[in-house]
Amino acid sequence: MSSVLVAGAGGFIGGHLVAYLRKQGIKNIRAVDLKPLKEWYQKFDDVENHQLDLRELEACRKAAKGMEWIYNLAADMGGMGFIELHKAECMLSVLINTHLLMAAKEAGAKRFFYASSACVYAADKQTTTENPGLKESDAYPAMPEDGYGWEKLFSERMCRHFREDYKLETRIVRYHNVYGPHGTYDGGREKAPAAICRKVIEAQKNKTGEIEIWGDGQQTRSFMYIDDCIKGSTEIMESDIREPINLGSAEMVSINQLVDIAEGIAGVKLKRKYNLGAPKGVRGRSSDNALIQKLMGWEPNTRLKDGLSKTYAWIKGEMDF
Ligand code: NAD
User: What CATH number should be reported for the domain holding residue 21?
Assistant: 3.40.50.720
User: What CATH number should be reported for the domain holding residue 195?
Assistant: 3.90.25.10
Q: Provide the number of structural domains found in the chain.
A: 2
Q: pLDDT, tens digit, for every residue of 253-273? A: 999 999 999 999 999 999 999
Name the residues annotated as catalytic.
148
d(CA 207, CA 194): 19
Q: Which amino acids bring their CB within 6 angstroms of ligand 1?
A: 8, 10-14, 33-35, 53-55, 73-77, 96, 115, 117, 175, 177-178, 184, 191
pTM (predicted TM-score): 0.97
In percent, the amount of the chain with pLDDT more than 70 equals 100
Q: pLDDT, tens digit, for every residue of 87-123? A: 999 999 999 999 999 999 999 999 999 999 999 999 9
Classify residue 146 by burial, with Cβ atoms within 10 Å: 0-12, 13-18, 19+: middle
d(CA 147, CA 137): 20
- Tell me how far the alpha carbon of residue 73 lies from the centroid of ligand 1, in angstroms: 5
d(CA 144, CA 146): 6
pLDDT at 80: 85
Provide the domain limits for residue 119: 3-178+224-247
- Tell me how far the alpha carbon of residue 10 lies from the centroid of ligand 1, in angstroms: 9
Burial code of 72-101, b = ≥16 C-beta within 10 A, e = fewer?
bbbbbbbbbbbbbebbebbbebbbbbbbbb
- Tell me how far the alpha carbon of residue 24 lies from the centroid of ligand 1, in angstroms: 23
Smallest CA separation from ligand 1 atom 9, residue: 11
| pLDDT over 90 (residue 2) | no
Residue 73 lies in a domain: yes
**Whether residue 210 is found in the same domain as residue 66:** no
Q: Which residues pair with 220 in a beta bridge?
A: 254, 284
| pLDDT over 90 (residue 153) | yes
pLDDT at 81: 85
d(CA 86, CA 92): 10
| pLDDT over 80 (residue 1) | no
Cis peptide before 181 (omega within 30 of 0): no
Residue 116 lies in a domain: yes
